[in-house]
Every structure is written in C-alpha cells, then in structure tokens.
Amino acid sequence: MMNAESTSTTNPLKITFNGPAKHFTDAIPIGNGRLGAMVWGGVPSETLKLNEDTLWTGVPGDYTNPDAPKALSDVRSLVDSGQYAEATAASVKLFGHPADVYQLLGDIELEFDDSHLKYAEETYRRELDLNTATARVKYSVGNVEFTREHFSSNPDQVIVTKISGSESGSLSFNVSLDSLLDNHSYVNGNNQIIMEGRCPGKRIPPKANANDDPKGIQFSAILEIKISDDRGTISALEDKKLKVEGSDWAVLLLVASSSFDGPFINPSDSKKDPTSESMSALQSIRNLSYSDLYTRHLDDYQKLFHRVSIQLSRSPKDIVTDTCSEENIDTVPSAERVKSFQTDEDPSLVELLFQFGRYLLISSSRPGTQVANLQGIWNEDLSPTWDSAPHVNINLEMNYWQSLPCNLSECQEPLFDFLTYLSINGSKTAQVNYLASGWVIHHKTDIWAKSSADRGKVVWALWPMGGAWLCTHLWEHYNYTMDRDFLEKRAYPLLEGCASFLLDWLIEGHDGYLETNPSTSPEHEFIAPDGKLACVSYSSTMDMAIIREVFSAIISAAEVLEKNEDALVEKVLKSLPRLRPTKIAEDGSIMEWAQDFKDPEVHHRHMSHLFGLFPGHTITIEKNPDLYKAAEKTLQKRGEEGPGWSITWKTALWARLHDQEHAYRMVKRLFNLVDPEHEKHFEGGLYSNLFAAHPPFQIDANFGFTAAVAEMLVQSTLNDLYLLPALPWDKWSSGCVKGLKARGGETVSICWKDGDLHEVGIYSNYSNNDHDSFKTLHYRGTSVKVNLSAGKIYTFNRQLKCTNLHQSIV
C-alpha cells in the first residue's frame, strides 16, 4: 500500500556548483518568506546579498483620477466608431501614477585572511540542498577544510550562517554590514553590527534636496556573531567591522525589521521601531544553540516540502552514458546538467526543477509575508527590471499556480491578504475613475496596493481585469481545500465586490451582447481595418473568459453558501449567457479579439485568448470540442519560442489538451542554459542556479514549471480525476508522484511502471458533507465512478479497481 504522504526519492535534490558565483544568477537563494539572501560562495571574500520583503520606495498613494470618466467616455466613443488607433492614443488619459519599486536590504561582507587566496580549487563545492533548505560551501586551504552553512529560519525569523574550520583555531575573518540604500551602521558592544537606513519616499529620489523626499520606509538590520567558547576572539575595528581571530567556528545571526505597517499607514506615521523589533527578535533566540535553530528550521520547512515527492525514470533504451550517471549526479554542476539536457534528457533534472519551484515558493511566500513579487524576494538592485513589482496580467497569478495542486496552500495566504488590501484601494478607483461599484485593479501593483492603471504604454497599462483574474484563485482555493469558512468569510466578500464591478463595467453592445469597452489583450497589438496599429478595442477574448470564470465562481459559491437568491447573484445569472462567446477565426484558431483583426506578431509571448483552457475551465473537450480543437491550432500558431513564463504557460496548456508530446517539448525547451553576459530578450531558459530567465531573471517561470508538470501528472474537477493525462511515456516510462492535491480535497499518489499505470492512492481528510462524494477516475480511455469517504485511504490498480481500503491514522 503506497503512503500518500511518503516523500522518499532516490536522487539527491541538490543544485551544485564547482566555483563561486560571478553573477547574481549564479548565487544560491535562501529565504523564510520575508528575509532572503543570495549566497555567492566567494573564498577570500564572501558576499551575502540580503532582502527584506517590505522594503519598497514610496508612501501610500491616491489611485483615483476624477478626470477619468470623461476620458473613458471619449475612448468608448472612438471604439464604437471603429477608430481603434485613436482610441488607443486617447487611453493615456486613463493612466495613474507609476508603481513603486522593490528595494534591497544590504550586504554581509566577509573577508578572510590571505591564505584563502591559495585554496585548492579542486576541493571547492557549493550547493543548495532542497531537502533541508540549506546552502553549503566547502573548500580546503592546505590541510584545513572550511565549511559554511546558511539557512533562513521561518520560526525564528533569522538568517543563520555557520563557518568552521577542520583544525582548531583555524578560523579568522572580518565582517561588515552595508547597503546601497541611505544608511548608517555602527558596532554595538563587541559582537554586533547595527545598520539603520531608509528607503526613498518617492519612486525616483529628488536630485535637488534630500529634504524634499517624503519619509519612506525605515529599516534596521542587526548582525550578531557567536564563536567557539574556548578558542578565539571577537573585536571591533574602527571601520564599523568586527574581527574574528583564531576561532574553531563562528555563527552569524542576521535579523531585520522595517517600519512598514500596512499599505494604508504612511511611514511618517508608523509607530514601529525597526531597531527595537530587531533587538527583540535576537533576544527571543538568545538561548538557542546553532543546533536548536537548525532543528527548528528543518521541522518547519520539511513539514511543507516533504508533502510531495516525485521520481521520474526513462526506459532502459533511452539511458545514455554521460557525466550525469547516478554515481556522480551529486557532483556534476547543475549548469552542466542543463547544458546536456538537450541530448541526455535526464529525468532527475526535471525532478530537481519541479522541487526547486516548491522550495522557492516556501522560501518567498509564507503566512504574514508580502506576496512573492516578480523576483520572489531576491533582488540586488535599487532599480530592478520592471520594478520587481507584482504584475497581474499573468506573472503574479503564475507565482501561485502550484500552491494548491502541489500541496502548499498555506503559501498562498499572502495573496489573499493582498487581495483584501487591493479591494479597498480598488473600490476607490472603481468609484472615481469608472463610476462603478465594487473594486478594480489593473496590470501592475506594489506594496501600497496600487489599483489604478500604470504609466507607460497603453498596450500593457490599460487592463482593468487584474482583480478579476486574481479572484479566480479564491474559488480555486475553496475547490482544493473545501474550507467553507474561508469561502464565506474571506473569499465571497471579495468575489461579490469583483462581480459588482464587472457588472457595472459591462455595457450594452451593438449586437445584443454585453461588452467591455475599452478592452485590450495583454501586451499585444493588432492591425485595425484602416491599417493602423492599435491595441484598444472591445470585448477581447480574455476579458470575456475571465468574466465568465468569475461569474461561474460566484454562482457556485452562492450555492454552497445558500445565497442563490441574492440580488447580485440573480444579476450575474442573467448576465452570464449574454457574454460574447469565444469565436473561431478563419484559420481555425481562437480569435484573440472580438473581430478577426490581423495579428502583427503571431508568435507573441502572451497566451491570453487561451485563458479559458488554462488556468480557466470553460474550454474542455466535453463542453466545447470545437474550441478545444481550435485551442490546439492556436498553440501551434503561436509557436514554442518565448520567455520562460511563456514556455511554462504553454506547457500547462498542452497538458490541459492531454497532448503529452507537445507538453514535453515545452518542458525540454526551458532547459536552455542562459549566459547572463549574453542574454537574448524573450529567449527563455535557466541560469546556472536554475533561476528562470525571461531574460532577465523573473521567478514566475520557476513556479509555472512546477505547476505545469503537476498538470501533466494529475488534472481534476470537483467530480473528475484524470490520471497521468499528459505523461510523456517514452521519456518517463516509470515513476511515482506522491502528495499532489486534487479539487475536492483529495491527496493523490500515483506510481507507473514500464509505460503503464501501476497503482493509485487517494486520501481525503476533508468532510464531504457539502459536495458529492462521488468521483470519476479517468485513465487512458477508462472511466470508473468511485465513492470516496473522508478519512479513508483507497488504493486502485491499473484497471482502476479498488484493491485496498483502510482508515487513515493521520
């Protein structure tokens, strides 16, 4: 009998390097959801680049524009008269202020004595162990082996580093703490460095006079050092450094806090004292040894990470003899493994990247933290690309696609907290800008819960569907957890507000449908009938698909909560069938816009018009086989090229079509080693540390990859469970995945051997009182209806016959 919670694996889950990092994307990320670091692994000198997730530019903003209603009326008139290029130009009057910018915290700099310049390069090893969420660096100088271990603890909110030498008294180094942000640091006592600083109060700090800059978020970081009791000394140097001499080992503790007290409190009014909070954090762990801290870190992390395991094996005829054989897979640099994937197609590297996505989500998004942004929490720049801000026209949603199917639902909690804040600002934007009820957000936001359209180009900035897309995650959370309390108290009020806005945003069209106007398809332009380039029209396919999804969700939620007769729900029920249906173009693909406009970029990176296929649920082979076939044509037309996140979205789309060959082709395409010194824009792949490349680094593809592979292995509705629907049998002919979640609350584990299903385990620990306990299992054309009771574990064979049933002891 397989154990649904078992997580054993035969391959070491380690990302490995044979030298120090040269670029940010060579370094090792560690994080506890809030505090992050990038470990470079230098020998004579080492850098830990630090992040704290509340450090942003700016202050709370006004996201309303009283002139917007007039501008909106003008744009709508231009669209109605078919002047799409003119409507596009006029839409700039609907813009708001630009989003603020994610910042960095600073650097821990370690300087070792000159003997380290002569370290034996062949002894060097740097690795990230996903099983323990620990970064390690090892090398030898003469007969002495030096070891560093780094982890970021969630239970104790501290970044911990232990440095040791194999010979007594062999460890000596200097350490400092600094930041590119405005700061001052000082030595406190003989074993602490305190750094206090501030983020700019404006997105672009004023050049004339720093006093003109409003008070931004304040921060404090404290670095404390402990050394071996019986050997070594710590002393303060004049240049704000600490010096460790002749120790056996040293433990560095880094804590940090900020004055950020939510998106509605101006930093100048914050009552939070970052230095005092940091001191309290240190005091709370004062009596914990390194072993205590590590044990507490492991217990917290592994409770999440060990929920899911995956093993993939190719058939014997596909195994090639190469440098990545099982005997030495643990020592080959991961970059070399990525390079060789196009020829060896090593399934264990897919396992590693799958689990790396789960590791990154655990490390960048925990209850009480900010949402994982465009780079998770890891950033080395004051002006990161695209501000490292949450983008809501695919990127933020993709960050959380894996959270439910890959058994990390707690990691999605920051998204729901954020949605609550967004709905508050978004209600003001909806009321003032659009004279609408409910709430709205656009394509880009920030820590201040910005809800208005951004600055820049209309093609990306004008997109008021961001809140609606995010709201689909609320209903999905209920589908996977069956948490009625969550649905009633958190999800439904947000869904109500979102649906209220959408009902007001929809206007009567000329052909009997309700339409959205203005409307864009994210970041994509078309050639209007008059030959002009434009992006603004009406009722884009994505608009309609998202609205259809939200309306269906609130109708279903109302049934669960017995709110069917509410006036809002009745209005939604009347409006749903009046939404413009998805249409098929002359070439057999799905139309991206309401009209079959000419597409100037058929290989565009966004797959917006396929939202209804994935992550939506309105295009299925059972409901609408013509659209299902047209979706396949659309994917073929769009091509395989694109940035990392586009590749992983296409992987999930092909998986939803149950097309194993094309899904795997997209998996393989992501394994392209990207050189940070020679990046090609929109040619995605992986860096040496397995961060995903747009390029540049953008973390959504890491998360999207994990979600897409899960989609290849298990798909579900509340009533159906599809087993191995897009598994590439010729590439992964044998394997096991354990601990994935399905809609309806079940935990699913599947093993297959020699190209066929071997065994399925299904366990549900949720009450089925509120939904039908019957589930139909599907595998290779066979469908069997089964009755699943809460608290019991069922085992099925390849014919989908139940061979074992027993009560769970969990």
- The three-state (H, E, C) secondary structure of 218-248, written as one string: EEEEEEEEEECCCCCEEEECCCCCEEEEEEC
Which pLDDT value is given to residue 14?
Answer: 98
- Tokens describing residue 225: 């050092």
pTM: 0.96
DSSP symbols for 592-658: SSSS-PBPS-TT-S--GGGTTTTT-SS--TTT-HHHHHHHHHHHHHH-S-S-HHHHHHHHHHHHHTT
Which pLDDT value is given to residue 808?
Answer: 67
Which pLDDT value is given to residue 2?
Answer: 52
DSSP state of 582: P
Four-CA torsion 767, 717, 655, 301, nearest 10 degrees: -20
Rounded alpha-carbon distances, angstroms, from residue 100 to 58, 169, 256, 596, 700: 6, 48, 21, 37, 20
Q: Can you say whether the dihedral through the CA atoms of 67, 70, 73, 77 is positive or negative?
A: negative
Q: How many of the other CB atoms lie within 10 Å of CB of 612? A: 24
Contacting residues for 630 by C-beta, under 8 A, at least 6 apart: 584, 588, 589, 590
For residues 384 and 102, the answer to whether their CB atoms sit within 8 Å is yes
Strand partners, 134: 129
Residue spans of alpha helices (H) in 234-289: 274-284
Which pLDDT value is given to residue 427?
Answer: 98
- At residue 601, φ and ψ (nearest 5 deg) are -145, 80
- Tokens describing residue 38: 């990038």
For residues 77 and 58, the answer to whether their CB atoms sit within 8 Å is no
Q: How many of the other CB atoms lie within 10 Å of CB of 331? A: 14
Contacting residues for 450 by C-beta, under 8 A, at least 6 apart: 61, 63, 96, 97, 99, 100, 425, 441, 444
d(CA 118, CA 111) in angstroms, rounded, equals: 14
d(CA 216, CA 202) in angstroms, rounded, equals: 7
d(CA 372, CA 376) in angstroms, rounded, equals: 4
Q: Which helix (H) or strand (E) holds 77?
A: helix 68-80
Which tens digit of pLDDT belongs to each residue from 471-516? 999 999 999 999 999 999 999 999 999 999 999 999 999 889 999 9
Q: Are strands 720-723 and 774-779 parallel, antiparallel or unpaired?
A: parallel
d(CA 542, CA 516) in angstroms, rounded, equals: 11
Hey, is 491 helix, strand or coil? Answer: helix
Using N-to-C axis directions, what is the helix angle for 347-364 and 334-344, rounded to 10°? 140
Contacting residues for 71 by C-beta, under 8 A, at least 6 apart: 90, 91, 93, 94
Which pLDDT value is given to residue 750?
Answer: 98
Q: Which residue in 353, 361, 453, 373 sits closest to 410, CA to CA?
A: 361
Q: Which helix (H) or strand (E) holds 305?
A: helix 290-305
Residue 328, Cβ density class (10 Å: 0-12 exposed, 13-18 middle, ≥19 buried): exposed
d(CA 272, CA 280) in angstroms, rounded, equals: 13
Which pLDDT value is given to residue 809?
Answer: 53
First to last CA, the chain: 15
d(CA 200, CA 390) in angstroms, rounded, equals: 19
For residues 589 and 634, the answer to whether their CB atoms sit within 8 Å is yes
**Residues 512, 515, 519: CA angle, nearest 5 degrees:** 150
Stretches in the chain below the pLDDT threshold 70: 1-10, 205-212, 315-329, 766-772, 808-810
For residues 684 and 647, the answer to whether their CB atoms sit within 8 Å is yes
Which pLDDT value is given to residue 443?
Answer: 97
Which pLDDT value is given to residue 230?
Answer: 85
d(CA 732, CA 557) in angstroms, rounded, equals: 39
For residues 289 and 232, the answer to whether their CB atoms sit within 8 Å is no
For residues 680 and 357, the answer to whether their CB atoms sit within 8 Å is no
Which pLDDT value is given to residue 727?
Answer: 98
Q: Can you say whether the dihedral through the CA atoms of 478, 481, 484, 486 is positive or negative?
A: negative
Half-sphere exposure of 717 (CA within 13 A, CB side): 13
DSSP state of 697: B
Hey, is 689 helix, strand or coil? Answer: coil
Q: Which residue in 805, 773, 771, 804 sits closest to 788, CA to CA?
A: 773
